[in-house]
């Protein structure tokens, strides 16, 4: 599913009207009906609630008038507040305003004169529909909108935003002075950037992407390079197992992991690769750590390499590692490794050696690469990098704050520059491809904010590569399943008190749920 800016969405709307001759009134009617249908799902007892609809002067307000009309038709007690009189509205919004007036429906003015009355009315509402500003906002919110938004956020009512919470930039997710904090946002045709970038993502609450009849040719344009991962996409990519499959035909993974005090990371990555579907998983570690790992994991095969005698893999192990890796389908490197110069030397030997399988680099491997990221330009096989923001900041020599402010742009740029698949972890993980295409993952929640969850992601992605997915698709699907595992855990047990191992227990359920999904964004904590 493509992701668009507010400007791009406006262009798509115009093309739907001009090229495909779909009247704007129909698109507005469809948009309003989709919001009403969602409200019916939330509050089936419509006749028992009071709804206040706040309608701005643009098309977002026109959607609000449609919502008011249909909610009243369904028996809901509705009060509609407009930011001006009929003469201040234009086009389709004015038409829907006029329909209400001709039907004898009273529309209250929420301008300066009647503002105190409208704010008092919010206190008695069960539902507030925010149709004030929409996606076109370009400057900070001014009065009287700012006062109304403050009052909306102070109400105890359920708040549903139309297309995007008022005051949120559709392009950057920035709060433009003040913004509505909704429990739900019903957005139309395609998700907007500002719903996936913070702080906008937090203000949007749960997001519902709805179809309002815009032709697929416009909503799936190849020129749009930003994508939201959906369950349907992942469903179509997941490898299928033949009836006569066996462990040898389900893919082999080699993971270089662990150091003194960090064998848990190696164990988690290995177990995640097995649960992710790989038939055989080998964890390679320094010889003196092998007994510890063998005591921790059962089904994973532990390989001993000579190391440095202090629990670390080193450059002299490279030749043996390459031989073993080339008998597998993927090599993952990093969980629990120390990220100093010795690890960099080992990584350099692997990059410049005769390795013939894709390589995934995480954790200690990324810390080592930050000492010489130029090594990536010498690689001979596909690479997947999975940094968290701190690791990304070290790779680029910039602050973590800058990484977080420019997540999409940095990921896209570096994936192209390094010619690698780049998985920038965090809330709404970004997966960037060497051609500049990016995918945003909607699954996951704060349960993932605990040690070891990155090791799980390493194992899951490696398992998918081993089963035949190309590195980019493996990274996209792995990130989605990783987050969905955490969502399923939180849905059943709440959001606190869990470890990475608890999340791993839900990976089979995440895979099974995704395999049976209908073609909608589903199963996660924020998108419906």
Model confidence pLDDT, tens digit, residues 401-432:
999 999 999 999 999 999 999 999 999 999 99
- So what's the pLDDT on residue 244? 86
User: What SS3 state is found at 451?
Assistant: coil
- So what's the pLDDT on residue 241? 85
Report d(CA 420, CA 433) in Å as an integer.
7
More confident site: 418 or 111: 418
Q: Label each residue of 184-238 as H, E or C.
A: EEEEECCCEHHHCCCCHHHHHCEEEEECCCCCHHHHCCCCCCEEECCHHHHHHHC
What tokens appear for 241 in the block? 């197992």
- So what's the pLDDT on residue 518? 37
Quick one: average pLDDT of 453-465? 98
pTM value > 0.85: yes
- What phi and psi values does residue 498 have, to the nearest 5 degrees? -115, 155
Question: How far from 341 is each of 112, 124, 196, 360, CA to CA, in Å?
Answer: 66, 65, 37, 19
Mean pLDDT of all residues in the chain?
94
Q: Judge contact between 319 and 353, C-beta under 8 A.
A: yes
CB hemisphere CA count around 98 (13 angstroms): 10
Quick one: average pLDDT of 349-363? 96
- What phi and psi values does residue 256 have, to the nearest 5 degrees? -90, 115
Report d(CA 94, CA 110) in Å as an integer.
16
- So what's the pLDDT on residue 112? 57
Residues 6-224: name the CATH superfamily. Answer: YjeF N-terminal domain (3.40.50.10260)
Quick one: average pLDDT of 85-96? 96
Query: Residue 138: which residues within 8 A CB-CB, separation 6 or more?
Result: none
- So what's the pLDDT on residue 57? 95
Is the pLDDT at 495 greater than 90? The verdict is no
Report d(CA 188, CA 211) in Å as an integer.
6
Q: Judge contact between 241 and 209, C-beta under 8 A.
A: no
Is the pLDDT at 270 greater than 70? The verdict is yes
In which element (H, E) is residue 283 found?
Answer: strand 280-286
Model confidence pLDDT, tens digit, residues 147-161:
999 999 999 999 999
Quick one: average pLDDT of 480-489? 97
Report d(CA 50, CA 76) in Å as an integer.
6
Is the pLDDT at 40 greater than 90? The verdict is yes
CATH code at 245-515? 3.40.1190.20
Report d(CA 171, CA 366) in Å as an integer.
31
Model confidence pLDDT, tens digit, residues 306-351:
999 999 999 999 999 999 999 999 999 999 999 899 999 999 999 9
In the chain, what are the domain boundaries? Answer: 6-224, 245-515
Model confidence pLDDT, tens digit, residues 125-183:
999 999 999 999 989 999 899 999 999 999 999 999 999 999 999 999 999 999 999 99
> Is 302 exposed, middle or buried (CB count within 10 Å of its CB: 0-12, 13-18, 19+)?
buried
In which element (H, E) is residue 37 found?
Answer: helix 24-42
CA-wise closest residue to 137 among 149, 154, 121:
149
Report d(CA 273, CA 461) in Å as an integer.
8
Beta bridge partners of 80: 53, 107
Beginning with the edge strand found earlier in the chain, give each strand of the sheet holding 107-109 in spatial order.
Answer: 107-109, 77-82, 50-55, 127-131, 158-162, 184-188, 206-210
Buried b (16+ CB within 10 A) or exposed e, 251-279: bbbbbbbbbeebbbbbbbbbbbbbbbbbb
- So what's the pLDDT on residue 517? 53
Is the pLDDT at 30 greater than 50? The verdict is yes
Is the pLDDT at 117 greater than 80? The verdict is no
Quick one: average pLDDT of 89-102? 97
Report d(CA 285, CA 336) in Å as an integer.
10
Strands annotated E in 318-394: 330-333, 359-361, 383-385
- Can 6-224 and 245-515 be said to share one CATH topology? no
Confidence of residue 522 (pLDDT cuts 50, 70, 90): very low
Confidence of residue 243 (pLDDT cuts 50, 70, 90): confident
Report d(CA 400, CA 476) in Å as an integer.
23
């Amino acid at each position: 599913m493509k992701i668009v800016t507010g400007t791009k969405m406006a262009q798509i709307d115009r093309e739907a009207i001009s090229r495909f001759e779909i009247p704007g009134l129909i698109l507005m009617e469809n948009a309003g009906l989709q919001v009403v249908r969602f409200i019916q799902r939330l509050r089936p007892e419509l006749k028992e609630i009071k709804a206040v609809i706040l309608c701005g002067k643009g098309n977002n307000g026109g959607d609000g008038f449609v919502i008011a009309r249909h909610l009243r038709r369904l028996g809901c007690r509705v009060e509609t507040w407009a930011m001006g009189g009929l003469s201040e509205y234009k086009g389709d919004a004015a038409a829907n305003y006029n329909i209400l007036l001709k039907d004898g429906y009273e529309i209250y003015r929420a301008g300066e004169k009647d503002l105190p009355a409208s704010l008092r009315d919010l206190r008695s509402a069960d539902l507030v529909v925010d149709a004030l500003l929409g996606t076109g906002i370009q400057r900070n919110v001014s009065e009287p909108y700012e006062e109304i938004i403050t009052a909306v956020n102070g109400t105890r009512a359920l708040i549903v935003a139309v297309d995007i919470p008022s005051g949120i930039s559709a392009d950057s997710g920035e709060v433009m002075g003040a913004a509505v904090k909704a429990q739900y946002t019903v957005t139309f045709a395609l998700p907007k950037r500002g719903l996936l970038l913070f702080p906008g993502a937090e203000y949007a609450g749960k997001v519902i992407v709805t179809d309002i009849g815009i032709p697929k040719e416009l909503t799936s344009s190849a020129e749009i390079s930003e994508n939201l991962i959906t369950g349907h996409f992942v469903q179509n990519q997941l490898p299928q197992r033949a009836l006569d499959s066996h462990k040898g035909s389900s893919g082999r993974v080699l993971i270089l992991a662990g150091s003194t005090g960090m064998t848990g990371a190696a164990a988690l990555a290995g177990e995640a690769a097995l649960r992710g579907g790989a038939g055989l998983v080998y964890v390679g570690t320094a010889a003196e750590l092998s007994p510890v790992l063998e005591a921790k994991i059962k089904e994973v095969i532990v390989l001993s390499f000579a190391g440095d005698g202090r629990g670390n893999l080193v450059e002299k192990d490279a030749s043996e590692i390459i031989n073993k890796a080339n008998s597998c389908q993927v090599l993952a490197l990093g969980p629990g490794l120390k990220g100093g110069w010795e690890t960099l030397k080992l990584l350099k030997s692997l990059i410049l050696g005769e390795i013939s399988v894709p390589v995934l680099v995480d954790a200690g491997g990324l810390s080592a690469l930050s000492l010489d990221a130029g090594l990536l330009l010498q690689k001979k096989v596909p690479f997947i990098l999975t940094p968290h923001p701190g690791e990304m900041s070290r790779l680029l020599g910039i602050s973590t704050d800058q990484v977080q402010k420019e997540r999409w742009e940095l990921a896209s740029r570096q994936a192209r520059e390094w010619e690698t698949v780049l998985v920038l972890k965090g809330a709404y993980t970004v997966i960037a491809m060497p051609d500049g295409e990016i995918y945003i993952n909607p699954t996951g929640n704060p349960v993932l904010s605990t040690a070891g969850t990155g090791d799980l992601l390493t194992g899951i992605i490696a398992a998918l590569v081993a089963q035949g997915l190309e590195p980019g698709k493996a990274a996209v699907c792995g990130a989605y399943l990783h987050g969905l595992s955490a969502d399923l855990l939180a849905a059943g047990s709440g959001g606190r008190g869990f470890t990475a191992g608890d999340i791993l227990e839900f990976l089979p359920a995440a895979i099974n749920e995704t395999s049976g999904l209908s073609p909608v964004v589903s199963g996660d904590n924020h998108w419906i």
